[in-house]
Chain A
Amino acid sequence: MSALLEVRNVSRHFGGLKAIAECDFSVTEGHAHGIIGPNGAGKTTLFNLITGIYKPTAGEIVFAGERLDGLRPSRIALKGIGRTFQNIRLFKQLTVLENVRIAYDSQLRYSPLEALLTLPRMGRNEAESIAKSSALLEAFGLGALSDSLAGDLPYGLQRKLEIARAIALKPRLLLLDEPAAGLNSGETAALTEFLRWVRTEYKVTLLLIEHHMHLVMGLCDRITVLDFGQKIAEGTPEEIRGNKRVIEAYLGAEEE
């Protein structure tokens, strides 16, 4: 299998701080790929670089053979990269269904003029968007909550909705930033199963940041470890578990 995403020698500086330094790794299509590392290692920054929220100071990011760096975030999303956020960013005052529809909208084909005059093609597209988005919510077990405001959902369901919304984009690559944050161990186990299901059901490659080692080790085919913006190790879960530098990085982080 080939590399779906390649991060080539990417750096990102914030003033004097090297949040990401000459980072180099690739994600194989079909894999679940984990990113771990202590707090402040640069994991979220890496996601923001891939999705275009930040521009790299140096280096290239290639997705399915195309350069991403320099593109606007919406263009990158439309190329097939969905994401969730570490501090959930739902459209809180909109309904659960609207949240999903907004992501699904990228697949609708009608022009502003057709919308302003409500021409037939627009009506057909809209009906399709309601049906498909509702079906997606059903599949995610959120169907009964379609008309609730996203901000009113309990925390765990908000995380789930954020994943549903990202899936509505029909992405090839799904970036998850700490999907298990704030969950207890039972919920984390359920999430692991759920992510397995998402992965096969929607045929999506996963790249996920996570601190819960159970989840990462159980789910991922490959793991990249970051520390102070640099890649310090990469390998299968077994290789990472026994890696001395990784253990040091984590112990070092804990002593702080």
Chain B
Amino acid sequence: MGKVMDFLKKLGENRVILPVLLVVGFILTLAISQFAPLEQGLQSVLRELHLNTYVIALVGINVILCASLNLVNGYMGEFSVGHAGFMSLGAYASSIVTVKLLPDMPDALFFFPVIVGGVVAALAGFLLALLSFKTRGDYLAIITLAFLMIVKSALENIPYVGGPRGMLGIPKLTTLAWAFFWAVVTIWVLRNLLYSKFGRAIAAIREDEIAANSMGVRVREAKILAFSVSAFFAGVAGALFAHLLVFATPATFGIFTSTEILVMVYLGGIGSLAGSIIGAVVYTLLSNWLLPLGTWRMVIMPLILVLLMLFRPKGIMGFRELPWFLPKREARRKDS
């Protein structure tokens, strides 16, 4: 046992494996997206596991959603249920670009509509942050719920984006490579933020807002940053999701979707990037394998959230981090 633990510890502290995995992963996903025979090969392997490339791309999207919600709900200790609302804004804004404004855009420029989706969602996140100055806890949770419902009914009433029927004919631009790329960007940016003075400010707000204020923490700036960055990546995920599903309706992004992201966060572990990845991977695969259960899935998945809250409220990784996700300066300090 001791040997196994030592080995795992060494593995965790190795700073080469992660970059190598990332490069290999990116080359692989890019190759699969480019060459049809490779993709067919992968599909047949995945079929054996009752999976498909759609689910694998969804894993990437869910990593983005889970990690970005964790910033607000885990690291900052708020309880937002509005994440699907930001997703929806990202999905619609990016689809307006690809369907209506630039229908002839080359596929390689797909990052552009995705960023547009992220920015539109981030603006909404900024507005929500302003409301969070005065309200915390349960009341802020209710405000995020109201936000979710406002977005949904607003989209249902705008004929330009298809009303209740939603946007159809969205090009399928989300490849495995894009999903992988954006998941990596999300984790990298969040890591940079978390291990900066802004990340510490966010943690200080969670721990004790009054003490944080008295220690010179610019609480408003930190809240704006947390909400905007979190919403930005939810928007990115929404854009990727719309261009994977090839349609977007107001109903796609409802309270059930928000609940799913919450389950991922609290399953993998609050306040942990490694936990966000674990939560997203486990949940997405599990949810796919439970698909044959039909409507029962809608009962089982929220039930998992209830059980988690009762028995393991911090999740698998709860406030622990894999050393791979620490910046070098923090990891080195812990060695010495």
In the complex, which residue of chain A has the Cβ closest to the Cβ of B207?
Answer: A91
Alpha-carbon distance between A115 and B333 when the two chains are bound, in angstroms: 19
Q: Does B295 contact A (CB under 8 A)?
A: no
Q: Determine if B197 and A105 form an interchain contact, defined as CB atoms under 8 angstroms apart.
A: yes
The one of A51, A77, A103, A115 that contacts B192, using a Cβ cutoff of 8 Å: A115
Query: Are A74 and B219 touching (Cβ within 8 A)?
Result: yes
B189 contacts the other chain (CB 8 A): yes
Contacts A53-B210, A77-B215, A85-B211 given; indicate if A118 touches B327 (C-beta within 8 A): yes
Nearest Cβ in chain B — how far from A63, in angstroms? 14
Shortest Cβ gap from A161 to chain B (Å): 12
Given contacts A101-B200, A102-B200, A105-B197, contact A118 B212 (CB under 8 A): no
Let me know if A243 is at the binding interface, CB within 8 A. Answer: no
Known contacts A74-B216, A77-B216: does B208 contact A89 (CB below 8 Å)? yes
Return the CB mask of B300-333 against A: 1 if under 8 Å, else 0: 0000000000000000000100000001010001
- Interfacial chain A residues near B212, Cβ < 8 Å: 74, 91, 102
With contact pairs A74-B217, A102-B217, A129-B197 given, residues A94 and B192 touching in the complex (Cβ less than 8 Å) = no
Which one, B189, B195, B210, contacts A89 given CB within 8 A? B210
Q: Is the CB of A53 within 8 A of B214?
A: yes
- Contact A90–B211 (Cβ < 8 Å): yes
Question: Which residues of B have CB within 8 Å of A74?
Answer: 212-214, 216-219
| Interface contact A72-B203, CB-CB below 8 Å | no
Contact assessment for A94 and B213 in the assembled complex, using a CB-CB cutoff below 8 Å: no
Within 19-75 of A, Cβ neighbours of B (below 8 Å) are at: 51-53, 72-74
Min CB gap A48→B, angstroms: 9
Are B327 and A77 neighbours in the complex by a CB distance under 8 Å?
no
Partner of A51, one of B196, B204, B214, B329: B214
List residues of chain B with CB within 8 A of the CB of A7: none
Complex-state Cα separation, A92 to B303, whole angstroms: 31
Within 8 Å by CB of B200, from A90, A105, A116, lies A105
Give which listed residue, A73, A94, A98, A108, contacts B214 with CB less than 8 A. A73
B61 within 8 Å of A by Cβ?
no
Using known A-B contacts A93-B207, A93-B319, determine if residue A102 contacts B215 with beta carbons closer than 8 Å.
Answer: yes
Interface contact B214-A106, CB-CB below 8 Å: no
B95 to chain A, nearest CB (A): 26
Taken together as a complex, chains A and B put the C-alpha atoms of A85 and B208 apart, in Å, by 12
Does A10 count as interface, using CB distance less than 8 angstroms?
no
Asked if residues A103 and B216 are in contact (CB atoms below 8 Å), the reply is yes
Asked if residues B203 and A106 are in contact (CB atoms below 8 Å), the reply is no
Is A222 an interface position by the 8 A CB rule?
Answer: no
- Chain B residues whose CB sits within 8 angstroms of the CB of A169 once the complex forms: 215-216
A186 within 8 A of B: no
Which A residues are CB-close (under 8 A) to B334?
A: 147
Which chain A residue has the least Cβ–Cβ distance from B188? A118
Q: Which residues of A contact B329 (CB under 8 A)?
A: 123, 126-127, 130
- Contact string, A105-118, partner B, CB cutoff 8 A, digits 1/0? 11010101001111
Count the B residues whose beta carbon is within 8 Å of the partner chain — how many?
A: 32
B273 smallest CB distance to A (angstroms): 15
Kindly count the residue-residue contacts between A and B in the assembled complex, taking CB atoms under 8 Å apart: 106
**A122 at the binding interface (Cβ < 8 Å):** yes
Is B193 in contact with chain A by the CB < 8 A criterion? yes
Contacts of A122 in B (CB 8 A): 196
- A159 located at the interface, meaning its Cβ lies under 8 Å from any Cβ of chain B in the complex: no
Is the C-beta of B89 less than 8 angstroms from some C-beta in chain A?
no
Contact A108 B197 (CB under 8 A): yes
Residue from the list A103, A115, A130 in contact with B215, Cβ < 8 A:
A103
Instruction: Tell me, yes or no, whether A165 is within 8 Å of chain B by CB.
Output: yes
Select A73's contact among B196, B203, B213, beta carbons within 8 Å.
B213
Whole-angstrom distance from the CB of B332 to the nearest CB of chain A?
A: 9
Cβ contact within 8 Å between A94 and B207: yes
Distance (whole angstroms) from the CB of A110 to the closest CB of chain B: 8
Does B201 have its Cβ within 8 Å of any Cβ on chain A? yes
In the complex formed, the residue of A with least CB distance to B190 is: A116
Complex Cα distance A60/B200, Å?
Answer: 33
Q: When chains A and B are docked, how far (Å) is the Cα of A197 from the Cα of B225?
A: 39
Q: Confirm or deny: B261 has a beta carbon within 8 angstroms of a beta carbon on chain A.
A: no
Which A residues touch B189, using CB under 8 A? Answer: 116-117
Chain A hits for B119, CB < 8 A: none
Q: Give the Cβ gap from A33 to chain B, nearest Cβ, in Å.
A: 19
Q: Chain B contacts of A129 at CB under 8 A?
A: 197
List residues of chain B with CB under 8 Å of any chain A CB.
189, 192-193, 195-201, 203-204, 207-208, 210-219, 221, 225, 229, 319, 327, 329, 333-334
What are 18 A-B contacts with C-beta separation under 8 Å? A52-B213, A89-B208, A89-B211, A91-B203, A93-B319, A94-B200, A98-B200, A102-B200, A102-B212, A105-B197, A110-B196, A112-B221, A115-B199, A116-B193, A117-B189, A126-B195, A127-B329, A165-B215
Other than the given A91-B212, A130-B329, 7 more pairs (CB < 8 A) read: A51-B214, A74-B212, A77-B213, A90-B211, A98-B203, A105-B197, A105-B217
Counting from the closest, the 3 A-B pairs by CB-CB distance are: A115-B196, A91-B207, A105-B197
